[in-house]
Structure 1
């Protein structure tokens, strides 16, 4: 991490009250910059900083918002305009997973997944675009390797993230000449509450336990995301072998990839 690259910058983070977003907030709070968090609940770090119970170098702000609500996103953008007139980095980090096979998935699950994973970040990006343009800033979306190919048992989740990828790729081409950058970041399994707070096939709370296999810590992922912002060549970023495998095999041999996914994730959709 190059600390000087972040000094004096204005950074917006969604979902900073837990997981990867909380780690991003914690890392950046140690740097003299301005960090604005958008989430339904106020992060512990910001609450403690307001009470002088935590030492931070950054100016921290919290704007309460439900990122599945267009009305609340519009209100949040208006509040943000009173704090800053420019945004250097937008971390579209908040997201929700959804687990169920297609023939057991109701449209409500698709709608909820798309509201949080697609419509929310797209609308927020549009509302903040004038501020990002002013700083020739960077938009980062926290995605998933499941957005690189349709993953069995994850049709709603995969499709909502894949749709987001397409928008970010279009924006990169359209707005690159204005100096803007768009980074799609696909971390591997990470130790967060994503599964517990995800959706089942009916669109209700999933309540699954954390993935028990090898996984990254939120701080590891957050630091890699920060490095991706610092790298002017970052576009589609993956962190581990499974990510690289999906990234390349979807083009080289999709039939082989589908066989591997069928075998590896068979229990997830039966």
Structure 2
């Protein structure tokens, strides 16, 4: 990490109470910076195990699915900081279920948290990011790169967010704002126990099979991306790069792979 980049910076992190957001907070707590940490249960955000003596922490309660809660958070932040150097747009929710079984409520809840809430929040803080010529770094997923079976609502919400933020990146070239999308692989987080099933009930699924990244490993990549204003779409590993490329070169072959790999996630029971 570039120490001089983070010294005296103002950093905003959504979804900071657990998983990747918490790991980001703990990694950056070692620097003399000012951090604004947002979560639905901001009071649950603990003190970091190690921190710089000049670290300043603000905990802000914010439910991205609630427009009034997002607006309250925007106003609170705008009154207390003059600029934002890095905005980690990290919070999100997953939803699992077949296209024909997902209720409209699940689509609405998923988009509220993954699209409308982040868009409102970023729009509200954009003047502060522009003031610092800062960077917006979004924690995304390879599921945003193609419609993944059994993940229609999740893929659609993240894909929509990609399109909106790519527009923002181009529109903000003169303002010097960086906009990066990071498609993280399977990670050890509570995503599969805090998401929604097709009826809108709480998911309770085992972690994804295969090798998974730790939240700390993902946080370290997000931090490096934040230091590079030229970063755009970032994928971690071969599976992410494979999907990124095959969606253009051979979507038919890609769909066969997804069908076979995820069949148990969407087969009719």
TM-score normalised over the length of structure 2: 0.96
CA contact (8 A) 1:22 1:43 kept: no
3-state secondary structure, aligned to 1:191: coil
Is 1:5 the counterpart of 2:20? The answer is no
Is 1:74 the counterpart of 2:71? The answer is yes
Structure 2, gaps ≥5 residues long: none
Correspondence for 2:160:
163
Number of equivalences = 266
Correspondence for 1:36:
36
Q: Distance in 1 between matches of 2:11 and 2:51?
A: 19
Moved over 3 A (4+): 46-49, 53-57
CA deviations over 1:203-261 (Å, ceiling 9, x no partner): 22112122232100000000001111112321000101110001111011111110111
CA contact (8 A) 2:30 2:50 kept: no
Q: How does 1:1-270 map to 2 (within 5 A)?
A: 1-42=1-42, 47-48=46-47, 55-57=51-53, 58-270=55-267
CA deviations over 1:71-102 (Å, ceiling 9, x no partner): 01111111112220100111010000000011
Q: Distance in 2 between matches of 1:209 and 1:138?
A: 34
Q: Distance in 1 between matches of 2:28 and 2:43?
A: 14
Q: Distance in 1 between matches of 2:84 and 2:121?
A: 12
Q: Distance in 2 between matches of 1:87 and 1:54?
A: 23
- Cα distance, 1:54 vs structure 2: 5.9
Structure 1, gaps ≥5 residues long: none
Q: Distance in 2 between matches of 1:266 and 1:218?
A: 27
TM-score normalised over the length of structure 1: 0.95
CA deviations over 1:40-91 (Å, ceiling 9, x no partner): 11365x5436xxx864442111011111110011111111122201001110
Q: CA RMSD in A?
A: 1.3
Q: Which moved more, 1:208-217 or 1:143-152?
A: 208-217
3-state secondary structure, aligned to 1:195: helix
